[in-house]
Amino acid sequence: MATSNGRDVQELSERIDVLLDEVQRRAEPEITAKVEELVRAVLALHGAGLQQLLARLDEPQVRSVLEDDLVAGLLLLHDLHPDDVATRIQHALDSVRPYLGSHAGGIDYLGIDDDGVVQLRLQGSCDGCPGSTATVRLTVENAVLDAAPEAVAVAVEGMVETKPRQTLLTIEPFRPQSEGWHPVTLVTAPGQVQKLVVAELELLVANLAGTFFAYRNSCPVCSSVLQHGRLEGDLLTCPRCTAQYDVRLAGRALAPVGAPPLEAMPLLPDGVEWKVAIPGRQPA
């Protein structure tokens, strides 16, 4: 999706949340109640206006405006989005399946329970892939909670990471990017690799027939950089020690036998650009 006035909108949303949080913490209960009533009234007025506007648009026009993240977020906020939660979650999973396919064989949506927890099931396994847990947490959770802000958590194979329930005084659809996500520009041609430096970390991005994969730019066997390695199909060969890795299959080492895999970094489309997750490192 494209984002209208991305940074300005994010900063405005954060400022609203800060101001409302200050009211909740510092004001007398009577004042807090009045502020909440004011917020409800403003939201109701805006929601009524958006509903009238949507009534004047046909289906293709509605789908067109949904390409803007700000508009889509407003429609979610006012419960006016044309897609139900299951459809939105399925679309979100479709957006991450090309990446998950190399790590876990795919993922199924099982539903959302009464407590707001989205239930997912991984297909297959990722033996020998230390990045799989980070992939699930950073990639799947981010995509699902962005698409379904009414959800409070994502459960995958028994792993649940809770997210606090939001009150009226949090403008959820405009929350900043999740921890560790950084915007990147990819210009890698099909069949080629590209070196990127993100949050002071060198990454290697490979383009396999239009699907991008990101890894730490370091050979686990000899610690050499890999951007000068040879990519043949899905096979990447280290230019120094000739260790070989399956880029599509989670960076799994094919030779020498028993070598550790490449360190995978979750990579997702973000409108016309991309974002990559660097665990433990905040966006600049």
Residue 216 and residue 200 share a domain: yes
Domain boundary among 175, 210, 236: 175
pLDDT class of 1 with cuts at 50, 70, 90: very low
Same domain, 190 and 259: yes
* 212 Cβ neighbours under 8 A, 6+ residues apart: 186, 188, 205, 206, 267, 274
Residues 156, 98 share a domain: yes
- Say which residues have a Cβ less than 8 Å from residue 218's Cβ, sequence separation at least 6: 202, 224, 225, 226, 263
Q: For residue 13, what pLDDT is reported?
A: 75
Domain range spanning residue 154?
Answer: 85-175
Query: Do 155 and 161 contact (CB within 8 A), yes or no?
Result: no
Same-domain check for residues 170 and 192 = no
**pLDDT for position 84:** 92
Report the CATH number that the domain containing residue 167 is assigned in CATH.
3.30.300.130
Q: Quick one: 228 and 259 in the same domain?
A: yes
- The verdict on residue 282 lying in a domain is no
Q: What is the mean pLDDT of residues 143-161?
A: 74
| 284 inside domain | no
User: How many Å apart are CA 73 and CA 145, to the nearest integer?
Assistant: 12
Query: How far, rounded to the nearest angstrom, does the alpha carbon of residue 86 sit from its chain's CA centroid?
Result: 17
Answer yes or no: do 189 and 267 share one domain: yes
The whole-model pTM stands at 0.56
Mean pLDDT of the chain: 79
Residues 264 and 252: their CA atoms lie apart, in Å, by 10
What is the distance between the alpha carbons of residues 12 and 173, in angstroms, rounded to a whole number?
12
- Span 45-66, pLDDT tens digits: 998 999 999 999 999 999 898 8
Instruction: Give domain status of residue 194, yes or no.
Output: yes
Give the end of a domain, one of 55, 77, 99.
77
In a domain, 159, yes or no: yes
d(CA 228, CA 276) in angstroms, rounded, equals 21
Confidence of residue 199 (pLDDT cuts 50, 70, 90): confident
Phi-psi region of 14 (alpha: psi -120 to 50; beta: other; left: phi over 0): alpha
Q: Are 59 and 130 in the same domain?
A: no
Q: Same structural domain for residues 187 and 265?
A: yes
Indicate whether 256 belongs to any domain.
yes
In angstroms, the CA 271 to CA 3 distance is 7
Q: Are 131 and 103 in contact, with CB atoms under 8 Å apart?
A: yes
Residue 155 · residue 136 · CB < 8 Å: no
Q: Are residues 32 and 115 in the same domain?
A: no
Distance, CA of 153 to CA of 160 (rounded, Å): 7
Number of domains in the chain: 3
Q: Indicate the residue among 35, 54, 77 that finishes a domain.
A: 77
Is 70 found in the same domain as 21? yes
